[in-house]
Amino acid sequence: MSLGELYRHINWRMNPGDERARERFEGIEKFFESLDWIPRDGRVLDLCAGTGIAGVALAKATGARLLTVFDARSDDLDLAREWLKIAGINPKLRTVQGDAREAAGLVGEHDVAVLWGHTMPHFDPFDAVRLFANVALALSDDGVFMIEDMDRVYWILYRAGYREFLVEGRRGDYTIASMHEGYNFERGTFKRGYYLLPGFRKISTVDFHYWDIATQLAIGSIFFQEYGVIRRGQHGLKWVGDVLHFRGSRKEVAESILRELSAPR
């Protein structure tokens, strides 16, 4: 069972053939166009990119000359070319399969990096430190890093309440449900099993860390000189969540911490 199996069954609205995904693309593009502090005519890095929907929207909004779409799974990366056709742009495109926690050694220098689509729960706190450090090293000195996310401590653990069993959605003739299957105290992750109904066939087991906004900003403040958040209510766009942003890489800090993490224990 793998994350790829789960992604094949859940519609994340990122396939260029999906009309609602195209609406989402337009919303993401509008958001990026509204930001006058993003580097123009630069190099865009889309981490955990899937089909590259956010990276292409950013490339169009900023007139990027290079777009790198990066994901641990190779299945969707080629669809970035379809998004480029829809967007009507033709930057140099690179597709890279790899681990975002090691991105700096795989992609070279970029001017803007995005982690879009509420992906942070896949990174536990230890992973997040490596992620931020690698992004800091992959960015130019005045580069920008943006994360689309939500405050799950508030919205899931407080407002909705954590649920042992949850119907995640329906697609075609089946329903997808998830169940609590454990908690890792050392990593701070909830383990959930995903099942197809009817039949109760298990398709994946996933570990999640339920991030709040403040903790992500605090980690980012270690690796970047400037940090902030644009709340969903501030930009008012249907297809975009809260957006955390960071600028001014502290490369020496990132290198030092990664060396320390790599040292024998």
pTM: 0.94
**Mean per-residue pLDDT, 165-193:** 93
**Domains parsed from the chain with CATH numbers:** 3-151+212-262 (3.40.50.150), 162-208 (no CATH)
Q: How far apart are CA 25 and CA 33, in angstroms?
A: 12
Task: DSSP for 6-45, please give it.
Answer: HHHHS--S--TT-HHHHHHHHHHHHHHHT-TTSPSS-EEE
Q: Is 92 helix (H, G, I), strand (E, B) or coil?
A: strand
132-160 residue pLDDT tens: 999 999 999 999 999 999 999 999 999 99
Q: Do residues 110 and 52 lie in contact, with contact meaning Cβ atoms separated by under 8 Å? A: no
Nearest Cα residue to 132 out of 219, 14, 13: 219
pLDDT in tens, 35-61: 999 999 999 999 999 999 999 999 999
Residue 46 burial by Cβ neighbours in a 10 Å radius (0-12, 13-18, 19+): buried
Number of alpha carbons in the 13 Å side-chain half-sphere of residue 73:
15
